[in-house]
Amino acid sequence: MSDEITIESNLRLVEDRIKAACERAGRNPSGVTLVAVSKTKPFSDVLEARKAGAKEFGENYVQEMMDKIEEAENVPDMALVRWHMIGHLQKNKVKYLIGHTALIHSVDSLSLAEQIEKEAAKKDVVMRVLLEVNVAEEESKWGFDTVSVKEAAEKILDFPHVKVLGLMTSAPYTEDPETNRQFFRELNALAHELYDDKLIANQDPDFKLPVLSMGMTGDFEVAVEEGATMVRVGTAIFGNRSYRK
Ligand SMILES: *Cc1c(COP(=O)(O)O)cnc(C)c1O
């Protein structure tokens, strides 16, 4: 046994921290899906995480995601992996993703949803998505506000090839995760409101609904305490990113 820090040891630590947060909140850890955010990291890191048990991977950039998916194609260990698009998505890139990604977390405009509808229709598939909400109303962030997200969800109900499973947010960067608790609580309340109004799908074979994608390295434990069903963790698993694309 060694005390070396590896992707595997990091992954175990993050899982333990999720479990402890669930215990504090009286939740079952099986209700929280860990998405390992591998953006900017090489495929070898993804494979290492997969061998350590990670099954869900999040990427921000379409080209980088498609490169990794292609590399994964000939690797038996990678067969059951699910890829999540979590970054701001340009409409002209949507066509590459359809059929390759399990969930798009970052639908931040109605026109993007329309583009997804168009491309998914061409391939005759239903694309599962989350609506991104800028709960903290940060100028620099993408996403709907808490009012326009409902209007968008109502319109998307008429799109036969787009299914909204829940909501996503990226809370502000902070040294003190407690300051983000209010935003997570707000997203949770909003998602349940939309769910009760039948603006979010009421069943899905692969995801527990409504999906609440919230919490990153700096604040995922608070997010879990506030009901996150999906956390997106990069740095705590893969280490610091050496560059930002
Ligand atoms: C990069 C990123 C993450 C992961 O961030 P870490 O702080 O490294 O855990 C999660 N969500 C989104 C949308 C990101 O862009």
74-129 tens-digit pLDDT: 999 999 999 999 999 999 999 999 999 999 999 999 999 999 999 999 999 999 99
**Residue 125 CB neighbours (<10 A):** 12
Tell which residue, 93, 65, 214, has the closest CA to residue 143: 214
**Which tens digit of pLDDT belongs to each residue from 175-207?**
999 999 999 999 999 999 999 999 999 999 999
Instruction: Write out the two tokens for 237.
Output: 């698993």
Ligand 1 center from residue 60 Cα (angstroms): 9
Cβ contacts of 215 within 8 Å, gap of 6 or more:
171, 184, 221, 222, 223, 224, 228, 231, 232, 233
Contact 78, 102 (CB under 8 A): no
**Residue 92 CB neighbours (<10 A):** 9
Token look-up 């995922």 returns 220
Ligand 1 center from residue 88 Cα (angstroms): 12
Contact 52, 8 (CB under 8 A): yes
Res 245: pLDDT: 47
Every domain of the chain and the residues it spans:
7-238
Tell which residue, 45, 21, 41, 43, has the closest CA to residue 32: 21
Protein fold of 7-238:
TIM Barrel (3.20.20)
DSSP state of 143: S
pTM (2 decimals)? 0.96
Q: Is the CB of 174 under 6 A from ligand 1?
A: no
Ligand 1 center from residue 201 Cα (angstroms): 26
Q: Is the CB of 216 under 6 A from ligand 1?
A: yes
Instruction: Write out the two tokens for 154.
Output: 């109502």
**Residue 111 CB neighbours (<10 A):** 9
**Which tens digit of pLDDT belongs to each residue from 34-74?**
999 999 999 999 999 999 999 999 999 999 999 999 999 99
